[in-house]
Structure 1
């Protein structure tokens, strides 16, 4: 499944934000910050990664609906499996 660059820009932005958040979590642990602060930041990273994954799957679904007859390699079952790996 190839997803358009236009669809991937918001995903890349989310992943870069998550990358920064993860770096912050690592720094927090290294500097001995409170567990509550670390876990809160880690939850934000997790949510950002989940949203990026869902956006990729949603873009794939949309593309398959539009291009489905041209590219039958990705089935509905394949998309469901991708979606469920994020759940």
Structure 2
């Protein structure tokens, strides 16, 4: 894993803390997320075909909406995991890490609301 902060992260807060890696799928949902993302990938390929074939605009928009909702579902699941694990653990431990995790969560929520 890179030592640089990920784009949009707060001071690289996704990096290891006290020997414990924060930020990546702690509750065994990785396979479910990957399955969902592969389904979205297929939807996007289907959208590309629809555009190439010049299908009806409303049909394309309907599929864009479905892909968008699927991505939002993944995002909400990841946010729920982050709040339930990373943020909750940081708050329990206290200190500056708690403030960083809360700020990260707040920024992530703001991005999701804007999208």
- TM-score (normalised: structure 1): 0.83
- Runs (5+) with no aligned partner, structure 2: 1-22
- Between structure 1 and structure 2, the one with the greater Rg is 2
**Structure 1 gaps, min length 5:** none
Structure with larger RCO (C-alpha < 8 A, sep 6+): 1
Matched-pair contact (CA < 8 Å) for 1:7–1:59:
no
Q: After TM superposition, what 4+ stretches of structure 1 lie above 6 angstroms from structure 2? A: none
Under a length normalisation based on structure 2, what TM-score does the superposition of the two structures give?
0.65
Query: Alignment length, in residue pairs?
Result: 86
TM-fit CA distance, 1:14:
1.5
**Structure with a larger share of its residues in helix:** 1
